[in-house]
Chain A
Amino acid sequence: MIFAQIFDTINNGLLVIDREMTVKYWNRWMAMHSGIAADEIVGTSLFSYFPELDQPHFRRNCKSVLQFGNFCYFSQRLHKYLFPMSAPGSLADSFDHMQQSCSMGPLRNKDNKVEMLYISVQDVTEVVSYQKKLVIMNHTDQLTGVYNRNYMEPHLVKEIERCRRYDHNMSLLMIDVDLFKIINDNYGHPCGDYALKTICERITSNIRKSDSLIRYGGDEFCIIMPETSEKDAYKVAETIRKSISDHPFTFADMTFNTTISIGVATLDQSTDDVESMLKKADEALYSAKQSGRNSVT
Chain B
Amino acid sequence: MNAAAEEVFSSEEKDILQEVMNIAFGQATAELAEVIDIFVILSVPNIKVVKGRDLPGYFINEMDGSSVVNLIEQNFLGKFSGQAMLIFPSGAEKELIKLFNQENAEGTYDVDIDTLEQETLIEVGNILIGACIGKITELLSDFVTYDPPRLVVQDLAESSPSHFPVDEDSFAISIRTVFRFEQQNVEGYLFLITKQRSIKWLKKALQSFLESFM
Report A67 CB to chain B, min CB distance, Å.
5
Given contacts A67-B35, A68-B31, contact A80 B143 (CB under 8 A): no
Report the stretch among B40-48, B103-111, B161-169, B195-203 that lies at the interface.
Answer: B103-111
When chains A and B are docked, how far (Å) is the Cα of A207 from the Cα of B31? 57
When C-beta atoms are compared, the residue in chain B nearest to A60 turns out to be B36
**Does A256 reach chain B (CB closer than 8 Å)?**
no
When C-beta atoms are compared, the residue in chain B nearest to A105 turns out to be B145
Do residues B131 and A68 form an inter-chain contact, with CB atoms below 8 A?
yes
On chain B, the residues within 8 Å of A67 by CB distance are 31, 35-36, 131, 134
Instruction: Determine the interface band of chain A, counting residues with CB < 8 A from chain B.
Output: 20 to 34
Do residues A78 and B111 form an inter-chain contact, with CB atoms below 8 A?
yes
On chain B, the residues within 8 Å of A79 by CB distance are 109
On chain B, the residues within 8 Å of A71 by CB distance are 126, 130, 145-146, 148
Given contacts A64-B131, A73-B148, A78-B109, contact A108 B36 (CB under 8 A): no
**Does A110 reach chain B (CB closer than 8 Å)?**
no
**Does B190 reach chain A (CB closer than 8 Å)?**
no
On chain B, the residues within 8 Å of A64 by CB distance are 35-36, 127, 130-131
On chain B, the residues within 8 Å of A72 by CB distance are 123, 126-127, 130
**Does A63 reach chain B (CB closer than 8 Å)?**
yes
When chains A and B are docked, how far (Å) is the Cα of A177 from the Cα of B180? 59
When chains A and B are docked, how far (Å) is the Cα of A75 from the Cα of B119? 8
**Does A57 reach chain B (CB closer than 8 Å)?**
yes
When chains A and B are docked, how far (Å) is the Cα of A108 from the Cα of B144? 12
**Does B175 reach chain A (CB closer than 8 Å)?**
no
**Does B212 reach chain A (CB closer than 8 Å)?**
no
On chain B, the residues within 8 Å of A75 by CB distance are 119, 122
On chain A, the residues within 8 Å of B126 by CB distance are 70-73
Do residues A56 and B103 form an inter-chain contact, with CB atoms below 8 A?
yes
Given contacts A64-B36, A70-B146, A77-B111, contact A57 B134 (CB under 8 A): no
When chains A and B are docked, how far (Å) is the Cα of A284 from the Cα of B185? 49
Do residues B149 and A73 form an inter-chain contact, with CB atoms below 8 A?
yes
When C-beta atoms are compared, the residue in chain A nearest to B34 turns out to be A67
Do residues A68 and B119 form an inter-chain contact, with CB atoms below 8 A?
no
**Does B63 reach chain A (CB closer than 8 Å)?**
no
When chains A and B are docked, how far (Å) is the Cα of A87 from the Cα of B138? 41
On chain A, the residues within 8 Å of B143 by CB distance are 69, 108, 112
**Does B116 reach chain A (CB closer than 8 Å)?**
yes
Our pick among A60, A78, A108 for the contact of B119 (Cβ within 8 Å) is A78
Do residues A78 and B134 form an inter-chain contact, with CB atoms below 8 A?
no
Report B93 CB to chain A, min CB distance, Å.
13
**Does A55 reach chain B (CB closer than 8 Å)?**
yes
**Does A103 reach chain B (CB closer than 8 Å)?**
yes
Do residues B133 and A70 form an inter-chain contact, with CB atoms below 8 A?
yes
Our pick among A56, A60, A63, A68 for the contact of B134 (Cβ within 8 Å) is A68
On chain A, the residues within 8 Å of B35 by CB distance are 63-64, 67
When chains A and B are docked, how far (Å) is the Cα of A263 from the Cα of B101? 45
On chain A, the residues within 8 Å of B127 by CB distance are 60-61, 64, 68, 70, 72
Given contacts A70-B126, A72-B126, A112-B143, contact A63 B111 (CB under 8 A): no
On chain B, the residues within 8 Å of A80 by CB distance are 110
When chains A and B are docked, how far (Å) is the Cα of A79 from the Cα of B111? 9
Do residues A68 and B130 form an inter-chain contact, with CB atoms below 8 A?
yes
Q: Which residues of A contact B (CB under 8 A)?
A: 55-57, 60-61, 63-64, 67-73, 75, 77-80, 103, 105, 108, 112
**11 chain-A/chain-B pairs, Cβ below 8 angstroms:** A55-B108, A64-B130, A67-B134, A69-B137, A70-B129, A71-B145, A71-B146, A72-B123, A73-B122, A73-B126, A112-B143
